[in-house]
Structure 1
C-alpha cells in the first residue's frame, strides 16, 4: 500500500489514526503477510487491514454494536466478534494496584481467538475518551498474554491517554518497546 493510499484513508477517516501511525503498523504487517492478525476494534479502516493481510487471517473484536454491524456490512468477509468489557476506565488504578492482573483477561473471547498464535495484534478499542468508557486496560492485558504465547508484534493506539500509555508500559513492558509514531506504540514479543 502506498503512502498516498494511507493518506487517502486518513482523509476519509478524520479523527482516527494519522499517516505516520498507520505506516508503522503497515510496515511490520507487510513484512509478515500473510499472517494472523487480531484487531481490537473495527471502523472505516477495517478494509485496510483485510486488504494488507490478504491471504492471512484477520479477526476483529468490537464492543459497539453499530460499529460491528457497520464493518460486517462494509466488509462482508470480515470476521467480527462481539465483545463486552464490563469495567470502565475509572477502575484502572484500583485494578492495577490492588487486584491481580489476571482479572483483566478477556476470558469470554471465542476459543479460536484464545488458541490462535497471533503474529500481529492491534489494540485500537474500546473507546477510552472519558472515565465512563471501558478504556483499553483489558485489551492491552489480553494482548500481552496472547502475544507472549506466540511472539507477536503488538500495537497500541492512543497512547497520549494515561490508560493506554500506563497499561501498555505496565503489561507490554519497556524492554519490548520498539518505536512510537504519534500516539501509536509498537512492542515486540520475539
Structure 2
C-alpha cells in the first residue's frame, strides 16, 4: 500500500506544480499583461468631462498675469470668502469694480454678482478686457462729498433716515434713489462696500453706499444680509458703518474690513434701527 500511495502523492504534487507553473506563465506573459492593463485602465463607466467654469478660467488667467496686488489683504478677503463658501450661489452686490472683481465672480460661481462703479472710463477699460465679468456692471453717480460727512452723519440721525422702507421713496439724502432698477428688484445676500473713492475731501465718499446697503438689508422680505465695509481705518467708513450698519450687528473685524449681519426688519416694523 505504501508504494502505491507514494505514487498517488507524487502524481498530485506534479499536477499541482504544473498548474502553478501554468498560472505563473499566464500571468507573466505579455498578452496577459496587456489584458490586465486594459482592465485597469478602462473603468466600467466612462468618466464625464466637466469644463472649467468660465468665471474661474478668467480669474486664473487674470491673476496669473497680474502684477498688481489687490487692495484687500488675504486675511480680509478670507472673511467674505468664508461666507461665500456657505451661501454661494447667491446674490452678491459689490460697490466698486477692481482687480478683485474676477475673484468675487469666481467665488460666487453660479450666482449673480453685480458691480456698481463710479468711473465710466474704468468700466469701458474692463469691458475691452473681460466682457463676461463686467456684463453686470453699472455706472453710478454720487452727489455727496467726503467734506460733507459730518453734516450727513447728523442728517442720518433724523427719523426719516431711520425709517426702513423702499429706498426710492426715502426722504433721507443719504439714500441712493437713482441706482439701476435691478438693485431694488433683487434681495442681496451679500453686499461689499469697497467704493466709491473716499480718500480725499472732494471724493464722493462711501457715506451713501453704506447707508443704502444697510437699509436694503433691512428691507428684504426675510432672512439676513451679510454686509462688508472695507477701509474702516478711515473716519467715514468707521463712523458710518457703526451708525447705519450698527455695532450690535457687527460679526467680525479683520484688518481694515468689517463684517455685519443684518436681519430683515420688514416683517417687524417695531424693531429698532440698531439693536439695543
Cross-structure match for 1:50? 105
State the partner residue of 1:188. 261
Equivalent position to 1:123, from 182, 193, 196: 193
For residues 75 and 35 of structure 1, what CA distance do their matches in structure 2 show? Answer: 22
Q: Deviations over 1:16-58 (max 9, x none)?
A: 1111111101111111000000000001111111111111001
* Gap runs ≥5 in structure 2: 1-55, 162-171, 264-276
Secondary structure of 2:173's counterpart equals helix
Kindly provide the CA deviation profile for residues 94-113 of structure 1, in whole angstroms up to 9, marking residues without a partner as x. 11214654211110011111
Q: Specify which of 128, 145, 161 is matched with residue 88 of structure 1.
A: 145
Equivalent-residue separation in structure 2 for 1:15 and 1:73 (angstroms): 20
For the residues of structure 2 that align with 1:165 and 1:120, how far apart are their CA atoms?
A: 19
What residue is the counterpart of 2:68 in the other structure? 13
Question: How many angstroms apart in 2 are the aligned matches of 1:98 and 1:114?
Answer: 23
Instruction: Quote the Cα distance in structure 1 between the aligned partners of 2:68 and 2:189.
Output: 26
CA drift of 1:149 comes to 2.2
CA distance in 1, matches of 2:211, 2:68: 27
TM-aligned CA distance change 1:98 to 1:112, over 3 Å: closer
Deviation per residue, 1:110-135 (Å, 9 max, x gap)? 11111210000000000111111111
Which one of the candidate residues 222, 226, 247 is aligned to 1:174? 247
Relative contact order higher in (CA < 8 Å, ≥ 6 apart): 1
1:104 paired residue among 174, 177, 193: 174
- CA distance in 2 between counterparts of 1:30 and 1:38 reads 16
Question: Is the aligned partner of 1:138 residue 2:208?
Answer: yes
Give the TM-score normalised by structure 2: 0.63
1:86 offset after TM fit, Å? Answer: 1.2
1:64 corresponds to 2:119 = yes
Which whole-Å CA distance do the structure 2 matches of 1:104 and 1:45 have between them?
27
Distance 1:74 1:32, change over 3 A: farther
SS state at 2:260 partner? strand
**Deviations along 1:115-174, whole A, 9 cap, x unmatched?**
210000000000111111111001000100111123210000000000001000000001
- Paired residues, what number? 184
Where structure 1 has 5 or more consecutive residues not aligned to the other structure, the ranges are none
